[in-house]
Chains A and B, each alone.
Chain A
Amino acid sequence: MLTTSERIAFVLIALASLLLTAHGVSRIVRAIARGQGRPNWGIFFRRVIPVSLDILLQRPIFRTRPFVSLLHAGVFFAFVFYGLVNIFDLAEGFIGFSTLHRGGIAALYNLIADLLSVAALAGMLGLLIRRFGLRPFRFNERVLLLPSVRFGISRDSAIVGGFILLHVGSRWIGQAVRVAESGRPDWSQPTASLVATLFHGWNEAALTMASHVTWWLALGLILAFLPYFPYSKHIHLFMAPLNLILREARPLGQLEPPTSSDGTLGAERLEQLRWYQLLDAYACIMCNRCQDVCPAHGTGRALSPAALEINKRYYLNRNLAAFAGGATSPPLLEIATSKEAVWSCTTCAACVRICPVGNRPMLDLIDIRRALVNRGDPLDPNLQSALESLARYGNSFGKPARQRARWAKELPFTIKDARKEPVEYLWFVGDFASFDPRMQENTKTVAQLFHAAGLDFGILYEDERNAGNDVRRVGEEGLFEMLVEQNLAALEKAQFRAIVTTDPHTYNALKNEYPAYGFRVPVYHYTEVLAELLERGALRVQQPLRAAVTYHDPCYLGRYNRITAAPRRIIRALGLELREMPRHGENTYCCGAGGGQIWMDSGGQERPSEQRIREAVALGDDLRYFVVSCPKDMAMYSDAVKTTGYEGRLTVIDVARLVASAVRIDGLEPESIPVESEAR
């Protein structure tokens, strides 16, 4: 029980603290509301329960770093339960309510509170030791960081960590004092009872004093911390769930069209970002998981998705009153990230997938690109000529559209012209598979497999255009729309049941982007079709293969669209031994070609594709094949195998070539892959 003066003091301090806190929160809310668009509160009620369940189970956090996530879970569960604990402790201070030495539900409450206090203390200590002892957070020196960030991260972490330790620790010791006061252990509070033995021999006055001090340290501290809370990373505990709950049910592979404000398409300044991109900054907990998986940062380039969010947050906090009041922010390229960083994003979406609080830093980068492209900022010359070629010829190779299906002339049969006769499958071949001489062999192989399996398929010949997936992601929205219009006009001429694509980027565009333009047709990747043909016996394995292989999931197939099983079903059906790289499936690592990178000069030290080849080589000396299912991967990894010096040791091969070797098609030379009989 508090004294009367203590009670009055607490109420007064609480009022002041709440007022200050409300002031801070309202400024942040007004700042976020300056972003474009408005949240759809309709989905709040639909999503609040399932998302809360996810959070209660700590699912978004356990995607990676299991041990650290465990520490977090300790703190998190304690925090949730401490909502109740703080209320009961308040009641104890004000009206003398106590659960000490009670049985039944009160004992259960005591036990949970007791154990979670220890979990929180252990978890927080562990997290602090990691952050300050092991110092796992480093940005490479090319990353743009606001001056306030460098010191700010540590200070914020120390304050928040210190608060949690002091708050929970005081409450825990306070319980021990109360146990000591009662003169006998409370078995529903085992750890507090253990600590109580330390107070053995203290007189009553000292114990009463200790009980008041610990009460104030536990609950008074909240009042002291509360006004700082909105500006601290601790605010993630409201903003992160909000971010996750209010996220529109949009496929990862579908971008929103650029926003338009003050004549700018996309985002040049903070207030031109969408509201949720500003919320991202406050949801960020600075865990840097996004940076760990970023292929650009991993190859020494200037991009750190974490630094982007942290910069945004620190800029906002330092200029909150002005920004919330309507002041214009400096350009994002001065306060959030650098131009080099913006142009090194591969749009692999690894950062988006890994983020435990639902942030999407990749979208900021794309919006900045949109603004740069539309403002006429000078582009990488290779990118510019690719875009000019796409606008003129519909492909990035600078080749006339009429040559698109030239590869098909070398086949012993004619592929149906889907514009002239109905087909079951319309094969949308894609630029790289059509024009790149290194890829055309694979393309012909796919055609021969489809043909041998009796698949009813056709192509659009010269009317096919680049689907525009990466055009949209370099920020050239107008060109993307033009390509969509041209493709839709061509598709309208054709009759088909479904689309099959070679390129995962094409797959993503047709599947996720085109529906916004009224195009809704089932879309398959060729690995899905080949797996099915093998399984229903339309293609028969004549000669099982015997080799150890690994498979690389393309970002736009594995991560964006979760097609990870079909290629693996094929590999196993052929008799091959599949060895997984550490990063596989949805957790795959980018080859470095996406988001238009394939058209740009990479400025990195080592390319992501080279790192990936080393990852594969580490799977064993006897691993022979690096299996791909994307024409861009074929290009990237064929180069990487040469530059890393593993040519001859590791062969990059398209999954279709493996199928052809096992199925044995007339007129198709099989690869020299060891077969079953030779191995035995």
Chain B
Amino acid sequence: MTIVVVMEQVPDVVEELAIAPSGTDLDRDAVSYVVNEYDDHALEEALLLAEATGDEVVAVGIDTTGELDQALYTALAKGARRAIKLTGDFEGTWLSTRAAARLLVPVIQELEPRLVLTGVQAPDDLDGQLAPTLAALLGWPHASVVIGSQLVDGAVQVRKELWGGMTMTLELELPAVLGVQAARQAPRYVPISRVRQVMREASIETRDVETPGDLAPAIMRLRFPEEAGQAEILTGSASEIADRIIELLRARGLL
């Protein structure tokens, strides 16, 4: 059976980001891309599930950057059986999560997986909407903030992180969609020689997709956060600190 992992590339924030002269976009020539950290965990969790059950992992992604091959080859080198990239005219655009989900659904339906895993969130999806949107469009159950999973008797048991250090275990009927926060273990290292071997021997399947009309909200201005004030650490006894807090709040007209 099949487990689909949806992967996305995002700008590498280790590198210095620059804003394009238009003022509404990153300078894409200067950006380099990495796999979304959570998608890496989704892939690891999928591989762990597949190793236990003999399922086939298929990595799927929308090539909005033109550089998705690298990420998909790495996924293949780590143990995915197939890799599919969706190509279209995405140049100079940022795809909204909703649009991305709509592009992905037909491929997922075609693959008939019993599970779809993706990262719980991404820098361009800080609300973590991709997994629930996919689930809604597919009409399948869904869990997000997943930190572990297990396939048992035609269902998937997932551990999901709540608040205050609490976790919840729930069981979903298959097929289901999971938004993964962290795999059971750290994403594996894949030796470069294996990636290179995969690049020589394996191939990535390509599907052309129509570019959806409602790509993204229109960006009016993009800028770096401006430096704002500094943190002050309050010291002293509890009542001194309380007095100081009240004073600060009063000074700002909040009390």
Contacts and interface: CB of A to CB of B under 8 A. Distances in A.
Given A384-B186, A400-B16, A392 B34 contact: yes
A382 B174 CA distance: 37
**B185, B186, B190, B191 pick with most chain A CB within 10 angstroms:** B191
18 contacts: A376-B188, A376-B190, A378-B185, A384-B186, A384-B189, A392-B12, A393-B14, A398-B14, A399-B14, A400-B14, A400-B15, A402-B15, A477-B191, A477-B193, A478-B195, A478-B196, A481-B192, A482-B192
Interface of A: 265, 373-374, 376, 378-379, 381, 384, 387-388, 391-393, 398-400, 402, 476-479, 481-482
A476 B194 CA distance: 11
B14 A379 contact: no
B191 A476 contact: yes
Contacts of B190: 376
Nearest to A476: B191
A165 B78 CA distance: 61
Contacts of B78: 376
B194 A478 contact: yes
Contacts of B191: 373-374, 376, 476-479
Mostly helix, strand, loop or mixed at chain A's interface?
Answer: helix
A525 B16 CA distance: 33
Interface of B: 12, 14-16, 34, 78, 185-186, 188-196
Contacts, number: 47
Contacts of A393: 14
A402 B16 contact: yes
Mostly helix, strand, loop or mixed at chain B's interface?
Answer: loop
Given A378-B185, A381-B186, A384-B186, A265 B193 contact: yes
B189 A373 contact: yes
A3 B188 CA distance: 76
Nearest to A384: B189
A400 B31 CA distance: 12
Contact of A479 (B14, B188, B192): B192
B189 A376 contact: yes
Contacts of A399: 14
B185 A478 contact: no
Given A376-B191, A400-B14, 7 more contacts: A374-B193, A378-B185, A381-B186, A393-B14, A398-B14, A478-B195, A479-B192
B183 to A, nearest CB: 12
Contacts of B195: 478
Given A393-B14, A400-B14, A400-B15, A387 B189 contact: yes
A379 B14 CA distance: 23
A379 B34 CA distance: 21
**Pairs A-B, 5 closest by C-beta atoms:** A478-B193, A478-B192, A479-B192, A400-B15, A384-B189
Contacts of B194: 374, 478
A378 to B, nearest CB: 7
A374 B77 CA distance: 11
**B78, B185, B194, B196 pick with most chain A CB within 10 angstroms:** B194
Contacts of A398: 14
A472 to B, nearest CB: 12
Contacts of A381: 186
A481 B196 CA distance: 11
Nearest to B192: A478
A388 B191 CA distance: 9
Contacts of A384: 186, 189
B193 A379 contact: no
Contacts of B192: 391, 476, 478-479, 481-482
Contacts of A478: 191-196
Nearest to A480: B192
A378 B185 CA distance: 10
A387 B193 CA distance: 13
B26 to A, nearest CB: 15
Nearest to B14: A400
Contacts of A477: 191, 193
Nearest to A387: B189
A656 B184 CA distance: 48
B243 to A, nearest CB: 40
Contacts of A373: 189, 191
A476 B190 CA distance: 10
**B34, B192, B194, B196 pick with most chain A CB within 10 angstroms:** B192
Nearest to B34: A392
Nearest to B185: A378
A379 B15 contact: no
A388 B16 CA distance: 19
A235 to B, nearest CB: 38
Contacts of A391: 192
A371 B255 CA distance: 66
Contacts of B189: 373, 376, 378-379, 384, 387-388
Nearest to B78: A376
Contacts of B14: 393, 398-400
B244 to A, nearest CB: 35
B15 to A, nearest CB: 5
A400 B14 CA distance: 6
Nearest to A379: B189
B39 to A, nearest CB: 15
Contacts of A265: 193
Nearest to A403: B16
A477 B194 CA distance: 11
A374 B185 CA distance: 18
**B16, B188, B193 pick with most chain A CB within 10 angstroms:** B193
Contacts of B193: 265, 374, 477-478, 481
A424 B13 CA distance: 37
Contacts of A400: 14-16
A398 B34 CA distance: 13
Nearest to A401: B15
A579 B220 CA distance: 69
A381 B16 CA distance: 25
A71 B14 CA distance: 62
